[in-house]
Amino acid sequence: MINIEDQEALLKLVAEYLDEDIECVAIGGTAMMFEGYKTATKDIDLVFSSLEDRNIFIKAIEKLGYSQKSLKLVYDLKRLQKKNVPLLYSRGDERFDLFVKDVFGFDIDFKKFIQKHEYIGRKELIIYTVNKELLILLKAITNREKDYEDIETILSKEKNVDWGNIVDEAILRRNKISWILIDLEEKMLQLKKKTLIKKEYFDRIYKAEAKAK
């Protein structure tokens, strides 16, 4: 596991090994730590705007002893069947999940962020974070071990979550990610035991899913 202090030190160290300045977007546990939702994670999830930037990042972490591992250790078959899958690099029990442009078909808008974190070493590593609604939706999309627990953690700290925004974003991606509404609805049904999610949001999912078939 990587705690907040470890993450800060690791990202600063990566910047010391970069050959070029690069930017990326943090999702998953990394973003949750930046936003104060949790204090430790075992996977650092980053989305890059280009293969070139990801390759620069990979070259740096390989110098730190990280090596590529099989995605089958983390993701299920329907996600691995997408064209643009992430690369997974690990060292001990620490892991980087490195995406380019999208997360299993969910395009990341590199112009919409809520925070900017800068790490200056030999070169500069800039990491942006997304809002809580997108973070929740991306957790539903990646659907790894602990992702549901992470959504619960966010909701325990955030009482004003815009479920309409989450559902609308999922509906927009239904044609590109055939299972997105099904997975989101599954998570929402589980969450109903702990938080209020209005019936209208489920109805919008069911209507959009029926229309898409």
How far is 8 from 29, CA to CA, in rounded Å? 13
pLDDT of residue 67: 97
pLDDT digits (tens, 9 = 90+) for 34-51: 999 999 988 899 999 999
How far is 134 from 118, CA to CA, in rounded Å? 22
- What does the pLDDT average to over 56-78? 94
Structure tokens at 139: 């957790």
Domain ranges of the chain: 2-130, 134-212
pLDDT digits (tens, 9 = 90+) for 87-137: 999 999 889 999 999 999 999 988 888 899 999 999 999 999 999 999 999
How far is 49 from 101, CA to CA, in rounded Å? 5
pLDDT of residue 142: 92
Beta strand 102-103 with 94-100: parallel, antiparallel or unpaired?
unpaired
pLDDT of residue 55: 98
Question: Considering the domain 2-130 in this protein, what is its CATH number?
Answer: 3.30.460
DSSP states of 75-122: S-HHHHTSSS--EEEEETTEEEEEEESEETTEE--TT--SEEEEEESS
CB 50 within 8 A of CB 100: yes
Max CA-CA distance within the chain? 53
Prediction pTM value: 0.94
pLDDT digits (tens, 9 = 90+) for 140-162: 999 888 899 999 999 999 989 99
DSSP states of 127-158: EEE--HHHHHHHHHHH--TTHHHHHHHHHHH-
